[in-house]
Structure 1
Amino acid sequence: MRVIVDGAKCQGNARCWAQDPEMFDLNDEGYLPTQVIDVPDEPDKQLKARRGVRACPERALTLEE
């Protein structure tokens, strides 16, 4: 599983970061840059990734199974 981040859509609400600050590492300005986040094969991390994707009001995050 991985999360695809479209940094151009990120508005810095940090709702993903609230789910897992280690996974959704914001830059110095408080935004999530464009990147691909490989989610560990751990149920807790996968749950937090799903929650982070759902929490984004701009839909800047896409989950790939």
Structure 2
Amino acid sequence: MRVGLVPGVCEGHAQCYVVDADLFPLDDDGFSALEEDREVPPGEEQEAELGVAACPVRALRVLP
């Protein structure tokens, strides 16, 4: 499983970061710092899905 950022959509709400700060890092301005699709570590799939679902503007996506 991988997670990715839809370019240009993040508004800096940081709800993903609240769910899992390691999986969903932020840049210095509070926006998602995912630069490319990121592999979800084994055992963290549920946190990844919760972090993606927490985004109010759907800036994140779950990939197979």
TM over 0.5: yes
**Count of aligned pairs between the two proteins:** 63
Structure 1 unpaired stretches of 5+:
none
Amino acid at match of 1:11: E
- 1:40 corresponds to: 41
* Displacement of 1:16: 0.3
Structure 1: how far apart are the matches of 2:31 and 2:57?
A: 12
Structure with the larger helix share: 1
- 1:23 corresponds to: 23
| Deviation >2 Å, runs of 4+ | none
* Displacement of 1:37: 1.5
* Percent pairwise identity: 37
Assess if the C-alpha contact under 8 Å between 1:7 and 1:32 holds in 2: no
Superposition RMSD in Å = 1.1
Structure 2 unpaired stretches of 5+:
none
